[in-house]
Amino acid sequence: MDSAPPLLTPYKMGAFNLAHRVVLAPLTRCRAYGNVAQPAHMSLYYCQRATLGGLLISEACAVSEAARGYPDVPGLWTDEQVEAWKLIVDAVHAVFFAQIWHTGRVSAPEFQPNGQAPISSTDKQVPPQVSHDGHVNTFAVPRRLETNEIPHVVNEFRIAARNAIKAGFDGVEIHAANGYLFDQFMKDSTNDRDDMYGGTLENRCRFTAEVVAAVAGEVGADRLGVRLSPFTDYMDCSDSDPETLALHVIHRTLNPTGVLYCHMLEPRMRVNPDDGKLTLPHMLLPFRKAFRGTFIASGGY
């Protein structure tokens, strides 16, 4: 009874000496007016959630103007954005990682340059989604990326990662979860391509592998985390074999690259049709055993 609960014990994550194992999860926050982080209130927000030796993951930061899918989200593609984040990072006395993000087809024309179609692995539109307050969100018909355009998007992530380090962040997390652009490539419900980025499992995961390699080459794998959500079907994006998909990404991309941490969403509980009770049909343990670095679980306590 005298020992500390495991969550409150120190942990060494690569070169980072963490005082405990509780992590601030990344969120989608719409408080960065003009897509520029607001130092006054955002410094307060993160300082209120910081502890000495704790790990914070920032709200999702768009890697380009076209990466946005929500109003007033922060970005990391301009010098002005970098300078604004510097003031916030300087105020936070904790280990601080920036989450970098592209929403892909989860967007509407008002968030796209000149009202253009959002990009994706596919030209299939996200069906209307009903939010928790009953509001119906609609999305634009996306444009399928041409094969020769994909390296440009890979480079956007590399530049955003470089900008995050310029802003003072300790590292970056690639948001490859929640039905956004990476999921649209990786999961077989949305990837209907017939080029080198579609069809086989390896091809569907190629875009993720290329971005991980580019970002690791820019900032170092020891400053890189990757967030995955194999079991979620958010934004009409699911996979027929999510466990094989996630293990492929771990074995073929994350482990060989030496990624610092893998951040994965817990599977949602389901109602058992036989007895009506809540059950958890999947677990993250196989992925925890497979990944060689630090493993972070989010949600589903």
Q: In this predicted model, what pLDDT tens digit does every residue of 159-170 receive, in sequence order?
A: 999 999 999 999
pLDDT tops 60 at residue 301: no
- Tell me the per-residue pLDDT of 80-131, one tens digit each, with 9 for 90 and over: 999 999 999 999 999 999 999 999 999 999 999 999 999 999 999 999 988 8
Give yes or no: 197 in active site.
Answer: no
- pTM value is 0.96
The H-or-E segment that residue 287 falls in is: helix 285-290
Q: What does the DSSP assignment read for 160-195?
A: HHHHHHHTT-SEEEEEE-TTSHHHHHHSTTT----S
Architecture of domain 14-298: Alpha-Beta Barrel (3.20)
Overall average pLDDT of the 219-230 stretch: 98
* pLDDT (0 to 100) of residue 55: 98
Phi-psi region of 94 (alpha: psi -120 to 50; beta: other; left: phi over 0): beta
Q: Give 2's pLDDT tier (boundaries 50, 70, 90).
A: low
Q: Give 276's pLDDT tier (boundaries 50, 70, 90).
A: confident
* pLDDT (0 to 100) of residue 14: 98
> Beta strands 278-279 and 270-271: pairing type?
antiparallel
Catalytic pick among 180, 197, 261, 301 = 180
pLDDT tops 70 at residue 1: no
Residue 5, classed as helix, strand or coil, is coil
- Residue 168's φ and ψ, nearest 5 degrees, are 105, 0
State the DSSP code for 158.
H
Q: Are 257 and 210 contacting, i.e. CB atoms less than 8 angstroms apart?
A: no
Q: Are 148 and 166 contacting, i.e. CB atoms less than 8 angstroms apart?
A: no
Q: Encoding tokens for residue 133?
A: 């307050």
